[in-house]
Amino acid sequence: MLSVITLLVVLTLSILVTRVATVALTHTGLSKESAKFQARSAFTGVGFTTDESEKVVNHPVRRRILLVLMLLGNAGIVTAVSSLIVSFINVDRSSSPFWPIALLISGVLLLWFVANSAFVDRHLSNLISTVLKQYTTIDIHDFSKLLHLSGDYQISEVHVEDTGVQ
């Protein structure tokens, strides 16, 4: 029973990690749909064969986010699979496998409902965005790529000091 609960905790953390990465990637200028796909792809280790993924990997902040996701994803997948295996190895032959299966199915259904809830998504994304803005400097937009600039055109940042002269 403990291994089923461990599996559900790992799945919950996996969903939360990909949600944080999705918000972080949107702060770098990706659309929400693209960020969600890239976060899930990096976490599971699949899907990096598109032109879009090359743009993501070529951006230094996005690449750092994806590297962390790949590392956490590998650890999470190994933990989830091992918890699943352990949860169905019946050491005590007198107990019924019904309760672990029922707990697993109900837990996965609850996670599916929460993960697909627009209400939860909106509030969780706002919370994650606030925390990222407060504790990181991840709010870096690649305006040149967003505006599709080419040739001799570029975006420059100029800092202007207040001299008090009007």
Residue 10 · residue 79 · CB < 8 Å:
yes
pLDDT score, position 113: 93
DSSP state letter for 45: T
Contacts 24+ apart (CB under 8 A), 41-49: 42/66, 42/69, 42/70, 42/73, 43/14, 43/17, 43/18, 43/69, 43/70, 43/72, 43/73, 43/76, 44/73, 44/77, 45/70, 45/73, 45/74, 45/77
CA 34 from centroid of its chain's CA atoms: 12
Structure confidence at residue 7 (pLDDT): 82
* Residue-level pLDDT at 101: 80
The pLDDT of residue 42: 87
Has this prediction a pTM greater than 0.95?
A: no
What pLDDT score was predicted for residue 140? 52
Question: Which pLDDT tens digits describe the chain residue by residue (166 residues)?
Answer: 777 888 888 888 888 999 988 888 888 888 888 888 888 888 888 766 667 777 777 777 888 888 888 888 888 888 888 877 777 675 566 666 677 788 889 999 999 999 889 998 888 888 888 887 787 766 455 555 556 556 666 666 677 888 877 6
CA distance 125 to 86: 34
For residue 143, what pLDDT is reported? 56
Q: Which amino acid is at 127?
A: L
Can you state the percent helix, strand and coil of the chain, rounding each to 5? 70, 0, 30
Q: Contact at 8 Å (CB) between 145 and 58?
A: no
Domain range annotation of the chain: 2-89+96-141
